[in-house]
Amino acid sequence: MPATLRKHASIWKLLGELAQHIDSEQYQVIDYWESDLYAVGVAPPDDPAQLVYVSTFGQSPGTFAYECEVAAERVPFSTTRRGIANGVNELAIVIRKHLGLAAAPSRK
């Protein structure tokens, strides 16, 4: 991720909240969409070709459009699942499942 990531406040808020649901060492933030201030990708640290694209554009606060993507041979990415996550917790579940991450420990 470039040191000068320019994104809308809704993306920065999402990234801050996501780190509370998934250990930030388990993923990297990918910015293939530099000109789109409302979108980022989340991928495993060792596999940027498997990612979850997340967009806040046109969404109600706390709601996120997402696409689960994998690299394909003839196209840059192939979408395997898409939807709308109602909250960061729901988005974190989608990300953990797609990236094959362990479930978050329960908080007490």
| pLDDT for residue 82 | 95
Write down the pLDDT at residue 41: 95
* Interval 19-38: pLDDT, tens: 999 999 999 999 988 899 99
pLDDT digits (tens, 9 = 90+) for 47-82: 888 999 999 999 999 999 999 999 876 667 788 999
**How would residue 106 be classed by pLDDT, with cut points 50, 70 and 90?**
low
Give the per-residue pLDDT at 48: 87
| Per-domain residue ranges of the chain | 9-99
- CA–CA separation, 23 vs 19, rounded Å? 6
The separation between CA 102 and the C-alpha centre of its own chain, rounded to angstroms, equals 16
